[in-house]
Structure formats: structure tokens, C-alpha cells
Amino acid sequence: MKKVFIETYGCQMNVYDTELIRGILAQHGDVAFVDDEASADVVLLNTCAIRENAHVKVYNRLEQLKPRKRKGKLKAIGILGCMAQSLRKSLPDDEPMVDIFAGPDAYKRLPSMLELAVGEDAQATDFSLSEYETYSDVAPSRIPGVNAWIAIMRGCDNFCTFCVVPYTRGRERSRTLQSVVDEAREAVQSGYKQITLLGQNVNSYRTEGHDFADLMAALGELRGLERVRFTSPHPKDFPLRLLEVMGRYENLCKHIHLPLQSGSDSVLERMNRTYTREEYLSLVAQIRATLPGVSLTTDAICGFCGESEADFDETYQVMQQVGFDAAFIFKYSERNQTVASRKYADDVPEGIKTERVMRLNALQRRVSLARNRLEIGTEHRVLVERASKKNEHDWFARADHFKGVVFSSHDAQPGDIVRVRIDEAYSNTLRGTELPG
Ligand code: SAH
Ligand code: SF4
Ligand code: F3S
């Protein structure tokens, strides 16, 4: 029996992939999953490559694992996922400590790779990307909770020039509508209250005559499914019909994560985002007109190649104008293989990138606080996720629009839907009082 510990880095897609990996390994027997590295024979790191600091985290982790590996207490270390895939050319010689390298489409071969690495003490690598693998025949072994992740597609064909994902996850491919609905139904039957659909660009989901709006409508109809979320759509193709479907069903949450990346047309063009600032703004207006009360969140990158102070100002202005409920703001990090790394100079000095990130974050904190304050006095049905870390009678829940709400209760449980009134607002949470019924 091999005792396996899996650690997950990166995005929700990786969290879901870890559940698939657990499902695949469990099916092949002779594996037990443990919760800590100290008691494991095998440590698998499911890694991310999106920014350089994602790589740094993994290298640091490998350093920590080295002593146990050298003493023979750890039989194998595996690097899985996006970083494995993106490093494939510079490995394996660089990392003799690592026994397994497996890219995101190679997980079905993990049982035999593990056998080779542990049984025969040989290195096992698989960097093949597939145009077809969707793992829709694999049952994920989910971590208990209120939310079940479901990847509806894999890969990405957008080739934003800054982004490594098309190289680490390969071509875009969608699962069948039926396989997603079946997986959602099984999750509901196992007690999950919320489904979050995952894809690098969910609104380019296509399968046998169905699109993403059809899939959402099918899930809107699914009995017992309290909440459906999705991440992320790309602003370039956001059909009105999808907004109408979202409006029609109560269980389709009124929250859209709509990555802006930049508010400057020339930067957007160099990024190959294929929309302009005006197109983005008119999409926001259409979303708000169709779905009143919707919350909007976004991603932005500071210091992309050639970003001038005037370009940055435009991002600042768009963020101010839209008034996002929350935003993730990143420093541009050049990635190998990408068009930007080949074509453009990473010419914004580190100090300026940092300063721009800080300015946008400061703006966003003010905007989030102002938007959250508008919630004071309103009532929400919130889904309880977990006990709050600070106070034993406090619970952390989320409203339909994704905002976190903390409230006190003696008898709440994860998975409950509770009615609360919002009393206090901070920049990243709300505080409420439980209402009867
Ligand atoms: N597919 C998703 C994005 C996944 S990556 C989408 O298009 O919405 C999540 C975020 O990481 C991106 O939205 C972008 O803001 C950021 N990101 C991607 N590559 C980056 C890079 N090279 N440097 C800094 N941030 C990056
Ligand atoms: Fe990367 Fe762009 Fe694809 Fe998102 S849509 S994963 S940012 S290439
Ligand atoms: Fe996700 Fe990181 Fe890969 S963000 S898709 S795990 S590069």
C-alpha cells in the first residue's frame, strides 16, 4: 500500500484535477491518501505555471522535501500539472529528486507511472497533450464540502499573448452536455449544494449542437441543485441568450467573473484579447441591464509589455467606472513559449509594476467597500460554507452574488441556506444577522 499525499497549487481547475487524480489512483487499488506529507511514501505536487512565483513555490517545496527523500523515507516525488508540462524541455536532468513528471492530459497513466517510480526506482515522464482527453469517464474523488467543481472543458485556444495555459493544457475540447449534467446530478445526490463549472473560456463550450447557454439551462432545471456558478467567461463572446438563461433560473447565481486584463486598447491588442475598452464597457452595460443586482469581478494585469503610464491610467479609469465588486490584480510575469515572450520586451521595471498593482488594489478596496456598503439593510439567502476561523459561533457563508457573509448562529451547519440581513460592510466581507425562517 502506497501512502500518497497530494498538494494542489494554482486555479480551481487544478483543484478539480486533483480530485480526478485521486479518483484514478483509487480505482487502481494499493493506494491510500494521507493528509500530511510526514506520513506519506509518495508526494505529488499538482502545480501551476501561470506566473513565475507559482514555479518558485514549487521549487521551495522541493527543497523542503529533499531531506526525507535522501534518507529514503519518501519513495517518490511527482510534479504534475501545468508546471510539469511547461518545464518539459528543461527536464528531467535538472531535477533528479523528482521521479514523476505528468502533464494535465497524462493522469490516466499515473498508476503505472507510480508503479515504475516506486517499484523500479525509475523516472517516469509523460508530457503528451491530447485533443480529446476530457476525463468525463473518470469519477472524481471529491473533498467533502458544499461545492462540487466540474470541468466542462479543457485547454484553451485563445492564445492571449501573455498566457502559458494554451501551452500547458493544449487545445480546447468540451465534454458532452449529458456527461456534465450526469456528474452534476450525482454530486447533488451525494449532498453537494453548489456546482461550479470550470473552463478557461466557458462560453466557447460547444458540443453536439449545444452551447454554454444550453448547459446552464439544463442545470437550471436540475432538481435539488441549489446553486450553479461558473468561471471564467471571456468578454469576447458573451451571448445575450446566456444572460437571459441566467435571469430565468433562480439557482443560476448572479455573479460573473469577467477578466478585463487591461483598459487600454493598445495593450488589449498586444495581449490579443480581441475586444476593445468600449466593447468591454458595453458588455458590462448589457449584463447589468439584463441581470439587475448582478455582481461583477475581474482580473487585471499591471506592467504588461509596453504599458505606459497613460495605458495604466486607462485601466484605472475602467476599473473605477465599472465598479467591480472584487478584482484580482497581478504583476505581469513573462512566461516561456508565449507570443509576448518572443515578440515583446518585458520592459516595465519591476518597481513600476509593483507600484501600479498597489494603486489598483487601493482603488479596488475603496470601490469594494463602497459597493459592499450598499448592501447594508438588504436581505440575502446565504449558503453556509464553514465555521468562521475567528469565533466559534460565527459562520462563513456566501450570498448568491458571491459576497462572503459572516453571521452568528448556534445551530447553522455547512450546506444550510439561511436568511440574513446585512448590518456591517467591510472591503472584502459583510456581517449579517440571521433572520427567522
Ligand atoms: N482563462 C482565464 C484565466 C486563467 S489565468 C480567463 O481568461 O479568464 C487567471 C488570470 O491570471 C488571468 O485572468 C490573468 O489576469 C492572470 N495571468 C495570466 N497570465 C499571466 C501572466 N503571464 N502574468 C500575470 N498574470 C497573468
Ligand atoms: Fe490564458 Fe487567455 Fe486562455 Fe484565459 S483565455 S487561459 S488568459 S489564453
Ligand atoms: Fe490553472 Fe495555473 Fe494551469 S492557473 S490552468 S494551474 S497554469
Residues 153 and 96 in one domain: no
Q: Is 95 a residue whose pLDDT tops 70?
A: no
Report the domain count for the chain.
Answer: 3
Residues 64 and 171 in one domain: no
From 3-7, 61-65, 104-108, 151-155, the region with the lowest mean pLDDT: 61-65
Residues 97 and 191 in one domain: no
3 state SS of 97:
coil
3 state SS of 292:
coil
Ligand nearest to the CA of 298: 1
50-80 tens-digit pLDDT: 999 999 999 999 999 999 998 989 999 999 9
Element (DSSP H or E) covering residue 20: helix 12-27
Residues 274 and 187 in one domain: yes
Report CA(50)–ligand 1 centroid distance (Å): 7
Residue 131 is assigned to a structural domain of this protein: no
Residues 88 and 161 in one domain: no
323-346 tens-digit pLDDT: 999 999 999 999 999 999 999 999
Ligand 2: list residues with CB < 6 Å. Answer: 156, 158-160, 163, 165-166, 200-201, 234
Question: What residue owns the CA closest to ligand 3's atom 1?
Answer: 11
Residues 328 and 191 in one domain: yes
Residues 117 and 156 in one domain: no
Report CA(108)–ligand 3 centroid distance (Å): 19
Q: Whole-model pTM?
A: 0.96
Taking the C-alpha atoms of residue 205 and residue 61, their distance in angstroms, rounded to an integer, is: 35
Angle between helices 177-189 and 212-220 (to 10 degrees): 30
Element (DSSP H or E) covering residue 423: strand 417-425
Residue 139 is assigned to a structural domain of this protein: no
Taking the C-alpha atoms of residue 237 and residue 275, their distance in angstroms, rounded to an integer, is: 9
Assess contact for 26 and 141: CB atoms under 8 A.
Answer: yes
128-165 tens-digit pLDDT: 899 999 999 999 999 999 999 999 999 999 999 999 99
Q: What number is the average pLDDT over the span 229-234?
A: 96
Report CA(133)–ligand 2 centroid distance (Å): 19
Contacts of 121 (CB under 8 A, 6+ apart): none
Q: Is 390 a residue whose pLDDT tops 90?
A: no
Whole-number percent of the chain with pLDDT over 70: 98
* pLDDT for residue 26: 94
Report CA(409)–ligand 3 centroid distance (Å): 37
Residue 133 is assigned to a structural domain of this protein: no
Tell me the sheet residues that pair with 207: 210
Residue 169 is assigned to a structural domain of this protein: yes
**Integer angstrom CA distances of residue 173 from 151, 167, 188, 204:** 11, 14, 25, 10
Q: Is 94 a residue whose pLDDT tops 60?
A: no
Residues 360 and 396 in one domain: no
Taking the C-alpha atoms of residue 271 and residue 262, their distance in angstroms, rounded to an integer, is: 9
* pLDDT for residue 28: 87
Domain with 321 in it: 147-373
Q: What number is the average pLDDT over the span 93-116?
A: 88
420-433 tens-digit pLDDT: 999 999 999 999 99
Residue 197 is assigned to a structural domain of this protein: yes
Taking the C-alpha atoms of residue 139 and residue 285, their distance in angstroms, rounded to an integer, is: 40
- 158 CA closest ligand 1 atom index: 7
Own/partner long-range contacts of 155-159 (Cβ < 8 Å, ≥24 apart) = 155/129, 155/200, 156/200, 156/201, 157/201, 157/204, 158/200, 158/201, 158/234, 158/272, 158/274, 159/272, 159/339
Question: What residue owns the CA closest to ligand 2's atom 1?
Answer: 163
Nearest to 330 by CA among 363, 358, 364, 307: 358
**CA quadruple 9, 14, 20, 24: dihedral, nearest 10:** -50
CATH code where residue 277 lies = 3.80.30.20
